[in-house]
């Protein structure tokens, strides 16, 4: 049995490592740092285990070989399946059992979808970074950065939504004639109108009781300012 495993494995001599045992499809080999293109030379301390000069078909097949990108590829791929499974579980079990609102479903969907896009873009970049076309490699790198930005957006949207869960959010863009400049004004006008039920805090913090602190009138401000003129 041991002899059969040895015959089915291809041993490729590389750098400081004596052998890389890899079940390699025909046409795929690993390279040292000195043998790879300049575009792949990011870290000189990773001396070997590089995939390079591959067409798209062999890039996909390299998913199942042992290289210095194996952990990067599979960690993001498993992360995608994790967020996908978590999304299904939340939508079908957690949120319905908590009597979540429609907004909760939307925000949770956006957040998990952004995370899945981020994971898939990273999988694509690490998988196709060994493509024989440098232009293709750079496109996948740009897509990876775009995926990271989308993942950050998912964190931002959900963070803002639940940080101000007790407040009514204005919708200035949904009304005709509203401009982007009115967004801050409309938001701070609605900030004191805490009419939304907040299950995460005590009722006293979400009642939105009006403040009794006396506020200076506009005429008082004008008269006070006029005294210095």
- Buried b / exposed e along 153-181 (16+ C-beta atoms within 10 A): ebeeebeebeebbbbeebebeeeeeeeee
Confirm if 107 and 161 have CB atoms less than 8 A apart.
yes
Please state at what angle helix 102-128 crosses helix 134-163, rounded to 10 degrees. 160
Confirm if 13 and 29 have CB atoms less than 8 A apart.
no
CA dist., res. 77 & res. 117, Å (int): 11
CA dist., res. 185 & res. 27, Å (int): 62
Residue 126 annotated as part of some ligand binding site? yes
Q: What are phi and psi of 165, to 5 degrees?
A: -65, -30
Confirm if 116 and 87 have CB atoms less than 8 A apart.
yes
CA dist., res. 229 & res. 223, Å (int): 10
Confirm if 167 and 190 have CB atoms less than 8 A apart.
yes
- Report the candidate in 78, 66, 32 with the shortest Cα–Cα distance to residue 52: 32
Residues flagged as binding site: 126
Residues flagged as binding site for Zn(2+): 126
């Amino acid at each position: 049995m041991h002899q059969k495993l040895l015959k089915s494995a291809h041993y490729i001599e590389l750098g400081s490592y004596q052998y890389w045992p890899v079940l390699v499809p025909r046409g795929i080999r690993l390279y040292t740092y000195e043998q790879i293109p300049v575009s792949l030379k990011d870290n000189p301390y990773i001396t070997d285990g590089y995939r390079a000069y591959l067409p798209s078909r062999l890039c996909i097949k390299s998913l199942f070989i042992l290289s210095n990108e194996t952990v990067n590829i599979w960690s993001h791929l498993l992360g995608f399946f994790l967020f996908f499974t978590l999304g299904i579980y939340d939508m079908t079990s957690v949120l319905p059992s908590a009597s979540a609102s429609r907004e909760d479903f939307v925000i949770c969907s956006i957040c998990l979808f952004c995370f899945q896009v981020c994971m898939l873009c990273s999988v694509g970049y690490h998988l196709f970074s060994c493509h024989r076309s440098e232009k293709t490699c750079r496109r996948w790198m740009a897509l990876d950065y775009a995926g990271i930005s989308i993942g950050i957006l998912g964190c931002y949207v959900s963070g803002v939504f639940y940080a101000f869960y007790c407040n009514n959010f204005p919708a200035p863009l949904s009304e005709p004639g509203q401009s982007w400049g009115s967004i801050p004004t409309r938001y701070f006008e609605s900030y004191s109108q805490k009419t939304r039920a907040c299950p995460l805090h005590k009722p006293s913090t979400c009642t939105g009781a009006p403040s009794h602190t006396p506020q200076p009138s506009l005429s008082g401000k004008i008269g006070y300012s006029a005294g210095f003129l």
